[in-house]
Chains A and B, each alone.
Chain A
């Protein structure tokens, strides 16, 4: 069980999972970073992204990877509208108000999907779903490689955009200090709407990609959402680059833990890490507290 070969193959699986985790957590991290809003509706948009990918696939035989890219502008617009109509009105209230509001939105999305598509599990089977590629002697499912590759490319583009464009810099400045951002002439209201749109776009994108690996139903997303929280907390909450680190920590912890415990207990690791990280990570929590008071 603990042979070198086994450990390496678990390591590869963990690395591939980390890419998936990073792409699904970025949306949450951007919205939290810019607005200090915990977006509980992320799971709802993730689920919708998966269902839309299914619709494209059934109607136009569109590959789910392309479907995920088609989702980007649609969900950006949806996020923008949600921000204009709902979130904008509660961001000045207590932080719990926005969390509960977006929780209400999650319930609405979930049950609308239930009304439209029913509760059965859906899946997308493409020509390459069951194929595997040999890499250094290990057979790796093609779908996992695709998801990892796409995640890597998209995240690289995001990092470049955050570092080298005006919008990216304005967004990062707002993450660091919204008031100072306002002082140097950044339209933070606009940045907030952008961030919410971008975050939602990432949720829809990740949802589309996830259809390559998992079956889904309207309840889809809850588990991933909680894992995403674990990841952004581990990554230091305000640190967008930390998402990648958090995703890697969680993916490796989960993958190797399965060698020691029942596979059905795997999700407990993420939840336990979430609670522990929230409580004992002094950097993250202390930062949060000081931010909330100002």
Chain B
């Protein structure tokens, strides 16, 4: 991507612009909520993309990290911790869990890894539903009601999304990121060239699990309620797959664009057809796989080939901002 070099400065500009929203419209709760949830998905999509896009390991099990993060924050918060301190802890718990499951499952290749992650994710959901002493089981857990303002949540989610994007951009450029892309293209060749594939895969998995776990924690404080069937749900896992694939898997801006579109479509359709958005995403996913594997980012590049550089640098960013 020729515009990759300019990605960080333009992202930085975009973040500054978006940070002005709560200052200019502090009373617009709808906008702040929409922004919060979009940024939360941006952060997770970007994180998922580190393993799924750069390394090519498509996981259908990230709800396990999200849910563990949400419950870590919930339990620590109930134990009297200030919310802000629980987020790193939530990330660490998710990261630790990713090491446990990643060790064996990341040995599987391609679709077999994907199938195994569905198994892990669903097993976690059922286990958590049954651990009712800790998780509240099928009735969930109510959390303290004293929470910071919507603007605070908005800014914190923006910060996490920006941090995740920076991490992904840095990873992509580093030898680590090149190693991930090499092992995606040919595992054995990468190994032959001296890439420590097992270490790199697990590192990418852990890094993205940390971010998603922290997002889960943030979500728990935002909602003031956690339930195993929502935070550990299969829908939560596939959201990340869809966001990244629709936006453009393996690209830097893809998950950002994907999350903005994902949340805008969901929000627009939710009022009239509560689950109809999944139909739209299903069709989009099929079309993208058949015609444009690089997703919306690839489509944008193709439509405005002469302006491609400007699009991925400026307009793609501004477009994501408008819909978000």
A binds B: yes
Asked whether A96 lies within 8 Å of B114 as measured between CB atoms, the reply is yes
| Any B CB within 8 A of the CB of A170 | no
A292 close to B115 (CB less than 8 A) = no
* Subset of 26 A-B contacts with CB under 8 Å: A38-B111, A90-B290, A95-B111, A96-B58, A96-B111, A97-B289, A99-B110, A99-B111, A99-B114, A104-B282, A104-B285, A104-B289, A105-B286, A107-B279, A107-B282, A108-B283, A111-B279, A115-B273, A262-B130, A264-B126, A265-B130, A271-B123, A272-B119, A275-B120, A278-B115, A279-B105
A167 is an interface residue with CB less than 8 A from chain B: no
Bound together, the chains give a CA A45 to CA B166 distance in angstroms of: 42
Contact assessment for B245 and A100 in the assembled complex, using a CB-CB cutoff below 8 Å: yes
Contacts of A222 in B (CB 8 A): 234
Main secondary structure of the interface of B (DSSP, over half): helix
Which residues of B are found within 8 Å of A108, using beta-carbon distances? 279, 282-283, 286
In the complex, what residues of A have CB within 8 A of residue B241's CB?
100, 103
The secondary structure that dominates the A interface is helix
Task: Note all chain A residues with C-beta closer than 8 A to B315.
Answer: none
Q: Is A133 an interface residue (CB 8 A)?
A: no
Shortest C-beta distance, A60 to chain B (Å), equals 29
Q: Which residues of B contact A89 (CB under 8 A)?
A: 290
Closest chain A residue, CB of each to CB of B284? A104
Would you call A115 and B283 a contact (CB within 8 A)?
Answer: no
Is the Cβ of B290 less than 8 Å from the Cβ of A103? no
- Most chain A C-beta atoms within 10 Å of own C-beta, residue among B58, B111, B245: B111
- Whether A267 and B111, one on each chain, are in contact in the complex, defined by CB atoms closer than 8 angstroms, is no
Question: A104 contacts which of B104, B112, B273, B283 (Cβ < 8 Å)?
Answer: B283
Closest B residue by C-beta to A265: B130
Q: How far is the CB of B62 from chain A (nearest CB, A)?
A: 15
Please provide the chain A residues from 251 to 294 with a CB less than 8 Å away from any CB of chain B in the complex. 262, 264-265, 267-268, 271-272, 274-275, 278-279, 285, 288-289, 292
Q: Which chain A residues border B316 with CB–CB below 8 Å?
A: none
Q: Which of A103, A267, A268, A275 contacts B285 (CB 8 A)?
A: A103
A271-B115 Cα distance, complex, nearest whole Å: 10
Question: Does B278 interact with chain A (Cβ within 8 Å)?
Answer: yes
Q: Which residues of the partner chain A approach B284 to less than 8 Å between Cβ atoms?
A: 104
Is there a chain B Cβ closer than 8 Å to A146's Cβ? Answer: no
> Does B97 sit within 8 A of A, measured CB to CB?
no
Per the 8 Å Cβ criterion, residues 214-269 of A in contact with B are 222, 226, 229-230, 262, 264-265, 267-268
The complex places the Cα of A118 from the Cα of B278 at a distance, in Å, of 15
A interface list, Cβ under 8 A from B? 38, 86, 89-90, 94-97, 99-101, 103-108, 110-112, 114-115, 119, 222, 226, 229-230, 262, 264-265, 267-268, 271-272, 274-275, 278-279, 285, 288-289, 292
- Would A110 and B278 count as touching, CB distance under 8 A? yes
Q: Which of B119, B286, B293 contacts A271 (CB 8 A)?
A: B119
Distance of A100 Cα from B286 Cα, bound (Å): 8
- Residue B231, interface by CB 8 Å: no
Taking CB atoms, residues of chain A closer than 8 Å to B286 are: 86, 101, 104-105, 108
Contact indicator A272/B276 (Cβ below 8 Å): no
Q: Which residues of A contact B282 (CB under 8 A)?
A: 104-108, 110-111
Smallest Cβ distance from A108 to chain B, in angstroms?
4
Rounded to whole angstroms, the CA-CA distance of A110 and B58 in the bound complex is 22
12 more A-B residue pairs beyond the given contacts A108-B286, A112-B279, with a C-beta to C-beta distance below 8 A = A90-B289, A100-B58, A103-B285, A104-B286, A107-B238, A108-B282, A111-B278, A272-B119, A275-B123, A279-B105, A279-B108, A285-B112
**A residues less than 8 Å from B115 (CB atoms):** 38, 229, 274, 278
Interface residue from B107, B123, B129 paired with A272 (Cβ < 8 Å)? B123
